[in-house]
Structure 1
Amino acid sequence: MQKRRTPWAIAYFLVGLVCLLTAVAVAASSTRVDDLVPIAVFGVPGLVLTLRAPMFGVSFGASGVKYSGLLNSRSYPWSEVQEVKSAVVTGTVFSSNVPELVLASGKVDQLSILAGYGTGGNTQNERVEQLVTELETTRTAALPA
């Protein structure tokens, strides 16, 4: 089983840790009920990011693919995946390249935590294109001839 992670996972973890520590510091010095608001605003996202960031990524092998995102994880056997492709979303300031799983049911599952970003018209992200190529190669090798 191969695993690919987003390079941003460390940044997500650090931001979550700062938010969590801020909530703990506010909770330690709180004396009023009003202090519960910053505890909730910083504590909940901090806890989610700190616990989930180390798991961000995609694992794939001969049996299928497993994606771990911000709030959930999904897995598919290769028989349910019709194609792996890269979707390009262009904007005026930023553009993104997002890996997608086209499922046999017709649905599309975007692996958004693994997206790559660029500025202006630069829509190619080599990391995302390489990941899509690896996933598609593994998928075609795993399917019966």
Structure 2
Amino acid sequence: MSRRRNPWSVAYLLIGLVLLLTAVAGVAEFTRVDDLIPILLMGVPGLVLTVRAPMFGVSFGDAGLKYSGLLKSRSYTWSEIQEVRPAVVTGTVFSSDVPELLLASDEIDQLPMLAGYGAGNRPNRRVEQLVADLEEARRSAGERH
């Protein structure tokens, strides 16, 4: 089973820790009910990022793939996936490449925590390589069955 992670996971983890520690420090100074607002605004996202960031990524093998994103995880067998392809979202300054799965049900499932960003319209090589590896794993699993 291969595993690929977003290199930015470490940054998300550090941001989560800073938010969480700031919220914990706010609890020490808690004197009024309205002090709860910044504690919640920093503590909840900080907790989510701190807990989920180490899990961001995709694992894939002969059976299929498992994606772990920000709020949920999903698993697919290769028979449920028609194609793995990059989706390009272009903007005026930045563009982003997002791996997406075209499912047998004709639905599209994007894997946003594995996205790559760049300037202009240049494709992100890390995302292109990930898509190629996932597509190769899908094809070779189909040939074996």
> TM class, shorter-chain normalised?
over 0.9
TM superposition score normalised by structure 2: 0.97
2:4 counterpart residue number: 4
1:61 counterpart residue number: 61
Distance 2:17 2:131 in 1: 31
Deviations 1:100-131 (A, max 9, x none): 11000000000111001011222x11100000
Moved segments of 4+, more than 4 Å? none
Matches within 5 A, 1:1-145: 1-122=1-122, 124-144=123-143
Distance 1:129 1:72 in 2: 24
Distance 1:51 1:28 in 2: 22
Distance 1:89 1:39 in 2: 34
Give the superposition deviation at 1:29: 1.4
Secondary structure of the 1:51 match is helix
Secondary structure of the 2:62 match is coil
Secondary structure of the 2:140 match is helix
Secondary structure of the 1:92 match is coil
Secondary structure of the 1:84 match is strand
Secondary structure of the 2:3 match is strand
RMSD value over aligned CA atoms?
Answer: 0.8
Gaps of 5+ in 1: none
Distance 1:115 1:10 in 2: 15
Gaps of 5+ in 2: none
For this pair of structures, how many residues does the alignment match? 144
Give the superposition deviation at 1:63: 0.2
Identity among equivalent positions (%) equals 68
Deviations 1:75-123 (A, max 9, x none): 000000000001111111110111011000000000111001011222x
TM superposition score normalised by structure 1: 0.97
